[in-house]
A and B are shown apart, each in its own frame.
Chain A
Amino acid sequence: MSRTATALKRLIVGHPISSGELGHTLLPKGIALPVFASDALSSMAYATQEILLVLALVGLAALSLVVPIAIAVALLLAIVIVSYRQIVRAYPGGGGAYVVAYENLGFTAGLAVGAALLLDYILTVSVSITAGGDAIISAIPALADHKVGITLLLIALVTLANLRGSKESGRIFAVPTYGFVVAIYALIITGLVKCLGGCPQAESAGEHLEPEAMLTAFVLLKAFAAGTTALTGVEAIAEGVPVFRFPQSKNAAATLGILGVLSISMFIGVSWLTDHTNVVYTEEATRTVVSQVAHAVFGGGPMFYVIQVLTALILILAANTAYTGFPVLASILAKDKMMPRQFRSRGDRLVFSNGIVILAVSASLLVVIFDANLNKLIQLYLVGVFLSFTLAQAGTVMRWRRMREPGWQKSAAINAFGGAVTGIVLVVVILTKFKSGAWIIILATPLVMFLMRAVYKHYTYVTDQLANPERKPLDRRPGHQHMVILVEQVDAATARAVGYVRSVRPADLHAVAFDDSVRDDWAKLAPQVELTLIPTGESRKARLKKHLRSLRNDLGRDDFLTLVVPEVLRSKGLWQILRQPGLQRLKASFLREPGIQVLDVPLDRSEAQAASETHRSIEPARNYVLVLVAGVHNATLQAIEYAETLRPTDLRAVSFGLDPEATEKLGNDWLASGIPHPLEIDDSPFRDIGGSLIDYVHRFKPDGVKRVVTVVMPEFIVSKRRHQLLHGQTALIIKSRLLFERGVVAVSVPYPIED
């Protein structure tokens, strides 16, 4: 990248951070509360409003029921908080609902919670940011027409901030969260004081309401279910125990307690004021309930605007917690083989970029589909919340029963009661919200589970295949190398390929050409190598394939048949692929041809021009062979056997950019495998494997004439193309960069995985 381009990227996304700088700082309670509670507290901005919307259907008289319903929801919140204080004690290592469910209730429960949480994180972003947009519009009603645009803009800003990543985010959280709490308390206390002399009335007080429904038990349940949105975000503390200061469990439990007290008092306070200022709220209202209450209590003064700004900020912070949660969960799921492995890795700035982008795109899509309508979006919410509440508590009960720590019966009873209550609420939520939107989630959750299960089955199958049949290195005679040079024209690249192949001294060697015009030049370049003309007929690809297949049939199982492809590269990078699509497709198609390897001998155009007009083949004196490995399995062993047939000056396996734990495992497996070659495990501190490999290659100072570096890449090939997506494109990306390095020869050794 040019200096300006680099500077521009740094300016927007920031400096790359080395994997090392991941180190976490432990949070004191005072900082942990805003970090983890912003999600839970932010729902105070819309929970009362949701209850009111349901009650409005019954008519003005029913609106007073908002207080008793809020008290019922607060009671539920208290039960869940007490129960989660036990979960925090049971899981000092962080009891994310997924981990708890998977560990104690098995694969399917883990899958269900994983899927529910992924969808929930997406909804958290859509709901919170939409509500944040509503708060802004309440302050400046003129913006009402641009609601979708404002919401999407906010999502884009939060996404960008998260792609940058931040180490000091804790302090950034503190100001708006505490500010919001203080502002809401100021609102409640001022309101109460003013009510002593007759409550101020909201702008919508006395509006006419046409009753559309009777007051039935169903409507009451529906209003209750709508209010339970106040519970969202409570689980965040249980997931974050490891970042609390010591004693971690105790501090986390205390923080949960504080959160409970704050949420309950704020929720009941706001609901009481809503009732006494006689707010009437319908779908058509422009201003949110909280803003109407604030307007009634403070008038249109500065405090009104302060509340709007703080509400918008805390809602954006709440969305932000999903931006931390979603990518981490996706990476845990990827580690457990339930999501594509691309989600495991961090990007330039040490954040899980893939997860962040997927989250932002899905949330934006929801906002567009639902037209940034908070009430419609909220209907999809809560199913996932209560499903994970219930399974996490049930899982913890199982854990108490298994561990039988002193006093476990009491804890287990608390969790069992909490789980039963949230289970009932889950049913209530599904029943009352099914028609208005919950059905989408009820359909989507099993669908996501099904996809995750398919990914899991595929990865497990591949792992089995790679270990089966068990191969031991060098327990048989090494195979012979048979090579075929593809001659499209006789140029500097062809000459270099002939020199390379000579140094390998294969058991058998010949050249193939599609037309006879190259015969004379070939005879000058390599008179002793027989040139076979491939008969005309179908496409070139099909003819070449047929030729190689018939050769392959005569070879032993352990022999190698290599197609050598000389190539003069005319343009940089991807343009090359666009320029010579035929050749690239041909090479790619041989990946799927069992028992055939493709060896690329590329030459840069400038290098080709510098080579003299009369092409002479020069055998390189040094051939350093590197085998790229990520684990010890059959595909690796096959690639090493292949590398051994190349008569290397030096043969070594190299590995880049693995997780730290994975490097220890790879080392142990290598020591145990008895492979007689050195393995070098190198860091790729900025997670750019291609760049690290190229730096490594440069150590051998390849010039292409006397010194060549051969990079052998084992690739496993799955028969279904869509499955190939699950295996990343690392090999392809590395290959496209290696081709442009002077003196580098690249070989793919495919290992087919049969279905």
Chain B
Amino acid sequence: MKTLGIVFSNIYDDALGELTAMRTVASLPFAGRYRQVDFILSNMVNSGIIDIGIITKYNYKSLMDHLRTSQEWDLNRKNGGLLIIPPFSSGSTGVYKGKLEALLVAKSYIQEKTDCDYVIISDSTVLCNIDFRAIVEEHVESGCNLTLIADQGDSVDEKHSLVLCQDEKGTVTELLINHPRQENALAGMGMFVLSRDKLNEIIQDANARGYYHFERDFVQKQFHEGILSLHVHRFDGVVLRNNTIHAYYQNTMRLLEEEVRKGLFLTNAPIYTKVRDEVPTYYGLESKVENCLLADGCVVDGNVINSVIFRNVQIQENTFVLDSIVMQGTVIGEGAHLECVILDKNVRVSPGAVLIGTPLHPVIIKKGETV
């Protein structure tokens, strides 16, 4: 059973504010050395999927730069491999109104993949380590039109893009969109399995009727009309939904929990990313590092506590970096004091600078700025 992967790179860009001002959510850096898209791509590759299209519309330079020949994901194939699908119309810029609209640009790509029987479509903001092979088999056996991959979601009351209300037997009774999750309800993970034929049909239909929202105009509508049979695959591993800046910050901090790291980074299913050839990180004589995640290429001479540090970051003497996220290439000058801060790439923090945010409202410094 050959399966095609379709990944959305721009959906939800708006919710991540400054962090996605110049990049897609797919290329948002995460966990010290990754971009968000690495997780879904690696999951697909580790599940034997080698035909993958990434639909993108704007700000995709950073994504293309990251993926290049896609050699790191083993997707530089003669047959199949990775295709970045940019917009082909000269129409409006900005985000796609929804995934159905985005799928329209991938129409011919999906139609041409005649050797693929099934399709997994996925967001790039929900991070987990998942094996799709068994799920596709499960989908086929179920005989249903669509499989929703869902988990128990974040805390009750937290809004989820798709909420699956169930009865006592676990049968889905109602689907809610952008809604707080009640007890016993499951939360969609933005990952769907369906046959390629069905997907083609949906795209045609959506085009004819001006539908654009995949969950609302297709999944919810047809389910409630009783014409869509649903199968739910419940995933019980670690799931991080980076849908908002707050969630991005919280989920980064959760990486400091051993359980979360073990759930995301499996030795038999690695997460691949672009190689940078940095030297290992140097910890100086005066450095103090506690409860932190650090990538390669850093020089740490200061104090770093409860933080995630990306590649090639310099943390100079007598600095304090607490509860913060420091992205690639940033330099933190002597004596600076940072708490609850997200420093984007290549930020310069002047010596002695003080930046203090709160976990609910971390201070964000944009890419390349000097503070």
Chain B binds chain A: no
Seen from chain B, the residues whose Cβ lies within 8 Å of a Cβ on chain A are none
